């Protein structure tokens, strides 16, 4: 604990620039400013190119015949491996399926790289691999390439999984982080913060009247239904690391627009709200694994929202705000007490190892 006399600099957030870190710290992996600095200052100069520069959940690859692939990769290092509402096997499938779907693509093929730690119980591995297979069937994708490595005891955490995925983008669909336009409605597909708080409640040993379970789910079916209403959806993003706050900030910056939303309209389950208050966390910054954010032209907003409501993973979908021309790059929330506040990109470490 810190006191006014003894400031505690080992806290969860630290907005210092990259050059002040001689080594990697947990905050570099948490979807906030520190990760953005690491990518911008270390990875991008060495690896950058126009395609990587799309900075979307998945990258659109134009093929010679005019068709377009969506391609995405994600590593899953979640601890614990099994959590309320899901496990790492299922999460590794849905995480990449959702990233592919956020380009408006139909996810088709997955690869999986399993990094096993010596000592991992064989029956736990069997259970997680079965869960992976079940999730593939649920999401309608095929695992087509795999790799297995084993690392020494004490050099892993039981199991890490990387999945990469390929999808096909239907003709006419043009979704991208830079395509938001003033006037677009800002929609979310359901309650926020469920996944992060489910993990947190296990780690902290918290018990609630109704247990909090992860929202881990495949969103490709919902995206299909939304695109059946109109192909004119401007932005789609799943609100994982960094939560809703990170997504809105990234889209506002990429599209050079402002975003305004009403905090009271953001759906949050009472148990999640209570857990956040107890731990001093803001549900806007907590990770989700089955929720998307959509920016949709006003003319189609109601019909798209109806399509989301009709999907089993979208029953709590809501319109929370609007894209504005003023304050480009800034996200502003109207608060319950009639004021407003800037909702910034999270700085560093909020909840580590949640995906």
Closest distance between a copy of itself and the C-beta of residue 110, in Å? 9
110-169: contacts with a copy of itself (CB under 8 A): 111-123, 125-126, 129-130, 132-133, 136, 142-152, 154-157, 160, 162, 164, 166
Tokens 């780690």 belong to which residue?
Answer: 203
- Which residues, at least 6 apart from 27, have a Cβ–Cβ distance to it below 8 Å? 13, 14, 34, 35, 347, 348, 349
Pick between residue 6 and residue 148 the one whose CB is nearest to a copy of itself: 148
Pick between residue 146 and residue 270 the one whose CB is nearest to a copy of itself: 146
Near a copy of itself by CB under 8 A: residue from 32, 33, 37, 58? 58
Give the integer Cα–Cα distance in Å for 341 and 203. 31
Closest distance between a copy of itself and the C-beta of residue 209, in Å? 32
Closest distance between a copy of itself and the C-beta of residue 144, in Å? 4
Closest distance between a copy of itself and the C-beta of residue 190, in Å? 24
Pick between residue 5 and residue 50 the one whose CB is nearest to a copy of itself: 50
Residue pair 142/22 in contact by the 8 Å Cβ criterion: no
Closest distance between a copy of itself and the C-beta of residue 180, in Å? 22
236-265: contacts with a copy of itself (CB under 8 A): none
Kindly give the interhelix angle for 88-101 and 122-139, rounded to the nearest 10 degrees: 30
Closest distance between a copy of itself and the C-beta of residue 170, in Å? 12
Interacting span for a copy of itself (CB under 8 A) from 38-46, 172-180, 202-210, 273-281: 38-46
What's the token pair of residue 277?
């208050």
Pick between residue 61 and residue 303 the one whose CB is nearest to a copy of itself: 61
Residue pair 193/272 in contact by the 8 Å Cβ criterion: yes
- Residue 208 as a binder of a copy of itself (CB under 8 A): the answer is no
Pick between residue 25 and residue 213 the one whose CB is nearest to a copy of itself: 25
Size of the site for a copy of itself (CB under 8 A): 77
Q: 37 preceded by cis ω (within 30°)?
A: no
Pick between residue 25 and residue 202 the one whose CB is nearest to a copy of itself: 25
67-86: contacts with a copy of itself (CB under 8 A): 67, 69, 71-77
Strand order in the sheet with 159-169: 59-62, 68-76, 159-169, 106-117, 142-151
| β-strand partners of 76 | 161
Give the integer Cα–Cα distance in Å for 16 and 41. 13
Closest distance between a copy of itself and the C-beta of residue 195, in Å? 16
Give the integer Cα–Cα distance in Å for 351 and 355. 10
Closest distance between a copy of itself and the C-beta of residue 269, in Å? 27
Pick between residue 247 and residue 305 the one whose CB is nearest to a copy of itself: 247
Burial zone of 337 (CB within 10 Å; 0-12 exposed, 13-18 middle, 19+ buried): exposed
DSSP 45-99: HHH--TTGGG-SSSEEEE-TTS-EEEEEEEEE--SSSEETTEEHHHHHHHHHHHH
Pick between residue 11 and residue 126 the one whose CB is nearest to a copy of itself: 126
Near a copy of itself by CB under 8 A: residue from 12, 13, 14, 38? 38
Pick between residue 34 and residue 296 the one whose CB is nearest to a copy of itself: 34
Residue 222 CB neighbour total at 10 angstroms: 26
Closest distance between a copy of itself and the C-beta of residue 138, in Å? 14
Helix (H) or strand (E) holding 244: helix 243-255
């Amino acid at each position: 604990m810190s006191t006014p006399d003894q400031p505690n600099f080992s806290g969860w957030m630290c907005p210092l620039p990259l050059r002040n870190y001689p080594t990697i710290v947990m905050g570099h992996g948490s979807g906030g400013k520190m990760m953005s600095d690491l990518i911008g200052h270390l990875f991008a100069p060495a690896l950058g190119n126009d395609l990587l520069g799309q900075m979307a959940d998945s990258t659109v690859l134009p093929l010679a015949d005019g068709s377009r692939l969506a391609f995405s990769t994600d590593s899953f290092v979640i601890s614990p491996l099994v959590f309320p509402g899901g496990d790492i096997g299922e999460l590794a499938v849905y995480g990449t399926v959702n990233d592919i779907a956020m380009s408006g693509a139909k996810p088709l093929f997955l690869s999986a790289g399993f990094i096993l730690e010596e000592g991992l119980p064989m029956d736990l591995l069997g259970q997680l691999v079965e869960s992976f297979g079940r999730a593939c069937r649920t999401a309608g994708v095929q695992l087509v390439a795999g790799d297995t490595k084993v690392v020494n005891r004490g050099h892993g955490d039981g199991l890490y999984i990387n999945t990469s995925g390929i999808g096909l983008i239907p003709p006419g669909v043009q979704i991208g982080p830079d395509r938001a336009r003033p006037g677009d409605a800002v929609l979310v597909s359901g309650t926020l913060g469920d996944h992060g708080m489910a993990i947190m409640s296990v780690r902290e040993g918290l018990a609630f009247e109704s247990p909090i379970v992860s929202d881990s789910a495949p969103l490709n079916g919902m995206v299909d239904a939304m695109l059946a209403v109109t192909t004119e959806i401007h932005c789609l993003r799943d609100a994982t690391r960094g939560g809703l706050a990170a997504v809105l900030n990234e889209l506002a910056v990429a599209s050079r627009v402002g975003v305004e939303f009403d905090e009271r309209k953001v759906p949050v389950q009472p148990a999640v709200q209570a857990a956040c208050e107890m731990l001093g966390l803001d549900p806007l910054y907590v990770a989700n694994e089955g929720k998307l954010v959509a920016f949709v032209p006003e003319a189609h907003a109601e019909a798209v929202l109806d399509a989301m409501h009709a999907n089993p993973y979208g029953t709590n979908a809501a319109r929370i705000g609007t894209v504005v021309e003023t304050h480009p790059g800034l996200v502003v929330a109207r608060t319950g007490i009639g004021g407003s506040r800037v909702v910034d990109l999270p700085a560093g470490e909020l909840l580590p190892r949640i995906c």
